[in-house]
Amino acid sequence: MIREILKPGLVVSCQALKNEPLHSPKIMAQMAVAAEMGGAVAIRANSGKDIRMIKKKVTIPVIGLVKKTYPDSDVYITPTMKEVKEIVKAGADIIAIDAINRMRPNNVTLNDFYNTIKTKYPNKFLMADVSTLEEGKNADKLGFDIISTTLSGYTSYTEDIDLPNVELVRQLSRQIKHSILTAEGGIWSLEDFRECMKYSYSVVIGSAITRPQLVTKRYVDEIKKII
């Protein structure tokens, strides 16, 4: 059961893209150590290199994903079995994938992709990154262990929604029946965190903790409004 390895609370996303100053498995691993010291219940990490390094440094579970773009699909969070294999080989405890109902590379459906993963890696827990209520309900029906609101605000049909999408979290909490619920996306304040925790099992925070260039920019933008 997923609740045996993932405790309720704060999940910290330790990710830095290639164009960001902290892009380094060693730096992300130290970020993860700091998050664990602060009381995080899990780490969310991108790429086999980062996952592997983080697993060596922390005792809490690691949610792994690989961001990869393909020319024939808009799916970029763990889009194919190649990325799944990379995550499993690196030692992640939970695999996060885009669970939106759109075709994956090589015209693979979400249902087929889910079944392929569960057949090859039956003991791995799966997290569904969704953007709408219907996507969350579908992922729950398929059998995902965790439903996360990661992609709300990042699909063409949700890009106008203000984040954090607490209303989506609230709706999902009432309608998913089998999975546990994680709130993710645009959570910057303690007020946001408290509101999301009212309805979800855990909350994922990334930028507000582990991306200092964005934290700095928020303050600088406020200064510009004053001067």
Q: Report residue 154's pLDDT band, with 50, 70 and 90 as the boundaries.
A: very high
Residue 3 has pLDDT above 90, yes or no: yes
Return the axis-axis angle of helices 48-57 and 25-37, rounded to nearest 10°.
Answer: 40
Domain positions in the chain are: 2-226
Q: Report residue 227's pLDDT band, with 50, 70 and 90 as the boundaries.
A: confident
22-47 pLDDT per residue, tens: 999 999 999 999 999 999 999 999 99
The pLDDT of residue 189: 96
b/e sequence 134-160, b meaning 16+ C-beta within 10 Å = ebbbbbbebebbbbbbbbbbbbeebee
Fold assignment, 2-226 = TIM Barrel (3.20.20)
Q: How confident is the prediction for the chain on average, in pLDDT?
A: 97
- Which whole number is the average pLDDT over 73-81? 97
